[in-house]
C-alpha cells in the first residue's frame, strides 16, 4: 500500500561486516515454515493441508474464499510472488512487488476472520468475500475490514479489488 509507514522490521537489521549482497536481495521465496504448523489463515488446519499448496503453486484455489485465505497467509509468509500472481492485471498496473513487500513486512499479522461470502464457488465466475484482518503496525493494532471482489480469469481466481 503506497504511503504505508514502514515498521521497525524494515529494513532488516544489518549484520555488520558479514552483511553481503545477500542481505540486499528481496526474499522472493516463502520462508521455511513448518508445514505441520497451524495455517495462518485461522482455518484450524495445518499449513500443508490448507494454504501452502496454493502459495507454492502446487494447486490453484477452487473458491474465492480459498484464494482470500491463501492471500492472507501469503502476507504472513511474505510470499510476494503469490500475492502478485493472484492480483488482477489492473491492480498490478497500479503497484509493484516491492510495494507489496514493504506493506506486508511492515505489519505483524494477528489473525483473519471471514465474515461472509457471496458466490465465488467452483462453478462461479465472480464472488465476494467479506473479512476482517487484524494486524499491528508501528506498535498500533489495526483492523482492516473489507469486502473483496474476486473474478475468475482463464479458470483461475484472481483478486480484483475491494467493494465497500
Positions touching Zn ion (CB under 5 A) are 39, 41, 43, 50-51, 69
At closest approach, how far in Å is the CB of 50 from Zn ion? 3
CA separation for the pair 33, 153 (Å, rounded): 30
Hunting for cell 481466481 — which residue is that?
157
List the Cα angle 10/143/35 in 5-degree steps: 65
SS3 for 21-76 is HHHHCCCCCCCCCCCCCECCCCCCCECCCCCHHHHCCCCCCCCHHHHHHHHHHHHH
At closest approach, how far in Å is the CB of 143 from Zn ion? 20
Compare residues 61 and 102 and give the one whose CB is closer to Zn ion. 61
Compare residues 46 and 95 and give the one whose CB is closer to Zn ion. 46
Compare residues 43 and 102 and give the one whose CB is closer to Zn ion. 43
Compare residues 39 and 158 and give the one whose CB is closer to Zn ion. 39
Cβ count near 145 (within 10 Å): 12
At closest approach, how far in Å is the CB of 70 from Zn ion? 6
At closest approach, how far in Å is the CB of 51 from Zn ion? 3
Compare residues 77 and 149 and give the one whose CB is closer to Zn ion. 77
CA separation for the pair 81, 115 (Å, rounded): 26
At closest approach, how far in Å is the CB of 111 from Zn ion? 12
Provide CB contacts within 8 A for 40, sequence distance 6+: 47, 51, 72, 73, 76, 77, 109, 112
Amino acid at each position: 500500500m503506497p504511503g504505508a509507514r514502514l515498521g521497525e522490521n524494515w529494513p532488516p537489521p544489518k549484520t555488520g561486516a558479514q552483511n553481503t549482497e545477500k542481505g540486499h536481495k528481496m526474499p522472493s521465496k516463502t520462508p521455511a515454515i513448518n508445514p505441520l504448523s497451524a495455517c495462518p489463515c485461522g482455518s484450524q488446519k495445518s499449513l500443508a493441508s490448507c494454504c501452502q499448496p496454493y502459495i507454492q503453486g502446487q494447486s490453484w484455489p477452487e473458491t474465492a474464499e480459498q484464494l482470500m485465505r491463501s492471500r492472507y497467509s501469503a502476507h504472513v509468509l511474505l510470499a510476494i510472488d503469490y500475492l502478485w500472481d493472484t492480483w488482477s492485471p489492473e491492480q498490478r498496473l497500479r503497484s509493484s512487488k516491492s510495494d507489496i513487500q514493504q506493506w506486508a513486512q511492515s505489519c505483524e499479522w494477528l489473525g483473519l476472520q471471514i465474515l461472509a461470502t457471496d458466490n465465488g464457488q467452483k462453478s462461479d465466475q465472480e464472488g465476494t468475500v467479506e473479512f476482517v484482518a487484524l494486524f499491528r503496525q508501528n506498535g498500533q493494532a489495526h483492523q482492516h475490514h473489507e469486502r473483496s471482489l474476486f473474478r475468475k480469469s482463464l479458470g483461475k481466481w484472481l483478486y480484483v479489488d475491494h467493494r465497500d
